């Protein structure tokens, strides 16, 4: 354990092994900004449908008695000889829920990969949780396999990160992934619009994933999907005669991989395309992550991309 603070203005805290300083140093200054207008409960950084006098211009309206004259638009007065008030959007906090896959398939780690899919997912969840809380927003984490196993209620404090990391480290993956069902559960569970982040290897039928995404988007949540895969799963570089151990209830299989490689890669690419297409249709951000890729680079690239999209809007 070590004491670090990614932001020198914040109090130092004991961090889990999943809060990698390299990751935090590269993403701490990048805002995980909500692209959609979200409901909030206090002044913060994100747009709300509630109007007040803040920093982001929304519209003009005619001046009426009692309005603060500091918000008069004198340029319009000079042109039209009429008084207009500038209205702004209140900046508010959002609530994020991270859905973290802890099914048995997440234990897979190929010989050259630095981490298993589960460990890599743990780093993602911890880093995003720390980032969200650091920007004064609220985060909760649901750890699931074929159902919800652990739920850490959303809170906004650096001490809350310790609880999240404790649950991640204590997780023992079992059973199958049921991504579709968990998204349905959270669509019904979350009462206020916010952000839902899914971190999973997505070993579920594309139509079930699509149904879950539809449910979350119908509830007007913004959704992000981090698809975590091992490089061997993406490349299938096996050769010779290999015995594949079954995960999530499947029996071991002895075969010659070179005879299966083409069919496997075609099926994999079809699955990834189906998931990506479902995400695009639902205006969901989809990120395919290779566990051999440095996480800090992947997160930095993703967050910068979101920031540019937000500016473009």
**Whether residue 202 sits in one domain with residue 54:** no
**Whether residue 57 sits in one domain with residue 181:** no
In angstroms, the CA 244 to CA 242 distance is 6
**Whether residue 239 sits in one domain with residue 286:** yes
Q: Between 130 and 103, whose confidence is greater?
A: 103
**pLDDT value at 29 more than 60:** no
3-state secondary structure of 250: coil
**Whether residue 182 sits in one domain with residue 87:** no
**pLDDT value at 123 more than 70:** yes
**Whether residue 178 sits in one domain with residue 292:** yes
Residue 204's alpha-carbon distances to 104, 181, 195, in angstroms, are: 13, 10, 22
Q: What percent of the chain stands above pLDDT 90?
A: 35
User: Which positions ≥6 away from 70 have C-beta within 8 Å?
Assistant: none
User: Which positions ≥6 away from 277 have C-beta within 8 Å?
Assistant: none
Band of pLDDT at residue 40, cut at 50, 70 and 90: very low
DSSP-derived secondary structure for 62-85: E--TTS-GGGB-HHHHHHHSS-EE
Q: What confidence tens digit (pLDDT) does each residue in 299-309 have? A: 877 877 777 66
The pTM score is: 0.75
**pLDDT value at 46 more than 70:** no
**Whether residue 272 sits in one domain with residue 233:** yes
Total number of domains in the chain: 2
**Whether residue 104 sits in one domain with residue 88:** no
> What are the backbone angles phi and psi of residue 307, rounded to the nearest 5°?
-65, -40
User: Which positions ≥6 away from 102 have C-beta within 8 Å?
Assistant: 118, 143, 144, 145, 149, 171, 172, 173, 174
**Whether residue 183 sits in one domain with residue 54:** no
Q: Mean pLDDT over residues 177-192, rounded? A: 89
Computed over every residue of the chain, the mean pLDDT equals 78
**Whether residue 50 sits in one domain with residue 23:** no
CATH of the domain at 198: 3.40.50.410
Looking at residue 223, its pLDDT comes to: 94
Q: What confidence tens digit (pLDDT) does each residue in 98-116 have? A: 999 999 999 999 988 999 9
Which range has the worst mean pLDDT, 98-112, 167-181, 250-264?
250-264
* 8 Å CB contact between 145 and 104: yes
Band of pLDDT at residue 33, cut at 50, 70 and 90: very low
In angstroms, the CA 101 to CA 149 distance is 10
Burial class (CB in 10 A: 0-12, 13-18, 19+), 247: middle
Band of pLDDT at residue 5, cut at 50, 70 and 90: very low
**pLDDT value at 174 more than 50:** yes
**Whether residue 173 sits in one domain with residue 143:** yes
**Whether residue 140 sits in one domain with residue 75:** no
**pLDDT value at 10 more than 50:** no
In angstroms, the CA 41 to CA 91 distance is 10
The residue segments making up the domain with residue 305 are 3-38+94-312
**pLDDT value at 140 more than 50:** yes
**Whether residue 67 sits in one domain with residue 115:** no
**pLDDT value at 161 more than 80:** yes
């Amino acid at each position: 354990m070590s004491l670090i603070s990614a932001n020198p203005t914040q109090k130092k805290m004991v961090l889990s092994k999943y809060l990698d300083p390299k990751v935090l140093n590269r993403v701490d200054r990048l805002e995980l900004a909500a692209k959609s207008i979200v409901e909030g409960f206090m002044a913060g950084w994100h747009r709300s449908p509630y109007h007040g006098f803040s920093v982001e211009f929304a519209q003009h309206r005619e001046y009426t008695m009692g309005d603060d004259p500091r918000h008069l638009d004198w340029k319009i007065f000079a042109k039209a000889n009429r008084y207009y008030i500038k209205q702004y959007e209140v900046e508010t906090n959002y609530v994020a829920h991270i859905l973290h896959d802890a099914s048995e398939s997440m234990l897979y780690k190929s010989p050259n990969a630095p981490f298993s899919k589960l460990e890599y997912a743990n780093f993602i969840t911890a880093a995003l949780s720390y980032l969200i809380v650091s920007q004064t927003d609220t985060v909760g984490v649901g750890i699931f396999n074929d159902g919800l196993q652990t739920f850490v209620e959303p809170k906004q404090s650096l001490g809350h990160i310790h609880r999240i990391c404790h649950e991640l480290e204590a997780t023992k993956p079992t059973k199958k992934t049921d991504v579709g069902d968990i998204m349905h559960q959270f669509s019904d569970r979350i009462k206020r619009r916010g952000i839902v982040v899914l971190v999973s290897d997505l070993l579920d039928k594309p139509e079930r994933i699509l149904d879950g995404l539809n449910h979350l988007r119908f509830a007007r949540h913004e959704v992000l999907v981090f698809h975590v895969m091992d490089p061997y799963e993406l490349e299938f570089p096996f050769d010779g005669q290999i015995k594949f151990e079954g995960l999530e209830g499947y029996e071991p299989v002895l075969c010659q991989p070179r005879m299966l490689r083409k069919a496997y890669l075609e099926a994999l690419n079809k699955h990834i395309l189906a998931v990506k297409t479902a995400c695009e249709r639902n205006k969901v951000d989809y990120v395919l992550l290779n566990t051999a890729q440095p996480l800090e680079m992947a997160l930095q690239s993703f967050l910068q991309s979101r920031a540019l999209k937000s500016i473009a809007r």
